[in-house]
């Protein structure tokens, strides 16, 4: 369950600009602010079921975007390579400071 939540959070992070404002509100209240379905339903004056359906549909959309663009997968690959790179750079006394700062810069692009 926790792993699923983490995945949804990442996908939300990458693809939320493609969602509607309502989808973003529900998702961010539910996943980021940890509100219950009932609380969101009350706030928006809709049924709990409507909130539930909207969130499930949004999750499916996020997975579909990931299937098409694979931004999370690429991010994971890049992160893994960068970690090895940083270890290597940190443990080598001969590596130039410039290279260290380039690795840092690269990390900030995502």
* Residues contributing to the site for its own copies (CB under 8 A): 14-15, 17-18, 65, 68-69, 71, 74, 77-78, 81-82, 84-85, 88-89, 92, 94-96, 98-99, 102-103, 105-106, 109-110
- CB proximity list for 16: less than 8 A, separation 6 or greater: 24, 27
Nearer to its own copies, 45 or 105 (CB): 105
Closest separation in Å from C-beta 95 to its own copies: 7
Cβ 49 to its own copies shortest distance, Å: 30
Please identify, using beta-carbon distances, which residue of 3 and 98 lies nearer to its own copies: 98
Min dist. Cβ of residue 102 to its own copies (A): 5
- The residue among 36, 32, 42 whose CA lies nearest residue 5 is 32
């Amino acid at each position: 369950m926790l792993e699923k939540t983490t995945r949804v959070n990442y996908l939300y992070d990458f693809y939320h600009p493609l969602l509607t404002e309502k989808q973003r509100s529900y998702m961010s209240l539910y996943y980021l602010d940890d509100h219950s379905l009932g609380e969101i339903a009350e706030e928006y004056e809709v049924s709990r079921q409507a909130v539930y359906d909207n969130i499930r549909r949004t999750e499916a959309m996020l997975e579909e975007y990931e299937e098409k663009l694979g931004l999370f997968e690429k991010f994971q690959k890049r992160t893994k390579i960068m970690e090895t790179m940083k270890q290597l750079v940190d443990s080598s006394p001969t590596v130039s400071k410039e290279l260290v700062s380039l690795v840092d810069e690269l990390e900030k692009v995502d």
